[in-house]
Amino acid sequence: MQQATFARAGMLAAVLATLGCGSRSTPTGSPEPTYETADVGVYTGGWHGGPLDAGAPAADGDEGAVPGTAGALEPCAAGTGCGRLTTTSSYCGGPQPPQELLDDLATPRPAGGMSLVVSPGGAYDPSQPETTRLTTDGDGRFSFAAAAGTYCIVVIAKADFLGPQGDPAAGEAIPVPSFAPGVAECMDQWARTCDGVVTVGDAPVAATEFNIPYGCSENPCIPAVPYP
């Protein structure tokens, strides 16, 4: 039981690290808080959340393209789900930035090398068999083969957060570490919310493009505390 507890603690640490819950000296940002328990106020830390240098601007005249990508998406073939994942960042405090910086942070950039979990339905349910796990290419694109239907896509940190709570072989059930009131519910809701929903058809369908905004809180459900 003790070894399993340590294993669970290690997994939680890895998940929180993925969420950007490490030290503030190297902030990585986190998904924009959208729930009532995560109403984040002004952060005065002098840094911005989200990936840095995630992509260069698109070439002039490349209409319909996301900056830093290879261009507009082609339709998905029959029996295939496809799309592109992007991210945006936030300015989190410090001197008043130029508008050009704010515009740049708010510009979607391709999320290359992002690990995703695909499962059937309009919400992530860890009790349902996963369709597949995949990694976006350098342009943030992804594709997978599946039967016609609707599929929920989440970042792998959500699947890990809702993963096994103990060692089934040993009959163990290790509780999820406690959070402040309301935070546990928020984390559960966050983990079950799709980052994108993709439709697979029996005929070609439009590709899905979705964005993950990175805010200033180091945890998607815990408000950021202003720096002095």
The per-residue pLDDT for range 185-199, each reduced to its tens digit, is 888 888 889 999 999
CATH match of 2-53+71-215 with 2.60.40.10: yes
Is the CB of residue 124 less than 8 Å from the CB of residue 191?
Answer: yes
The per-residue pLDDT for range 138-167, each reduced to its tens digit, is 999 999 999 999 999 999 888 887 765 444
Write down the pLDDT at residue 224.
59
The tens-digit pLDDT sequence of the chain (228 residues) is 434 333 333 444 444 444 443 333 333 344 443 322 223 333 223 334 444 333 333 333 333 445 555 568 899 999 999 999 999 998 888 888 899 999 999 999 999 999 999 999 989 988 888 899 999 999 999 999 999 999 999 998 888 877 654 444 555 544 555 667 778 888 888 888 999 999 999 999 999 999 999 888 766 777 654 443
Write down the pLDDT at residue 216.
81
CA distances from 127 to 98, 124, 130, 208 (A): 47, 9, 9, 25
Q: Is 0.75 topped by the overall pTM?
A: no
